[in-house]
Amino acid sequence: MKAREKFNGRVVVSIDYGQQQKPLSENLFRDPAGQTVEFNSAVDALNWLNAQGWELASTFFLVDDGDSAAYYVLRRRLPKAG
């Protein structure tokens, strides 16, 4: 997951599943009921993804042409054995 803050204070969150990128209108986060989900912060997005069965594995930050972004590497949480 990539998160960066825009000049207007909004946080832009994107996820790369390793698939071809779709148009922005098709790239929105949706809950299990199909409703669009918006996030107030990167932590808000991480909390939502955790509730969907993902867990945080690592983080790193990159700066490119003065634009910085936080990258969060997630993995699917495995069901507990037993």
**pLDDT tens-digit series, residues 42-55:** 899 899 999 989 99
Q: What pLDDT sits at residue 24?
A: 56
For residues 79 and 32, give the distance between their C-alpha atoms in angstroms, rounded to a whole number: 19
* Whether the Cβ atoms of residue 74 and residue 18 lie closer than 8 Å to each other: no
Q: What is the mean pLDDT of residues 43-70?
A: 90
Q: Which amino acid is at 11?
A: V
* Whether the Cβ atoms of residue 1 and residue 61 lie closer than 8 Å to each other: no
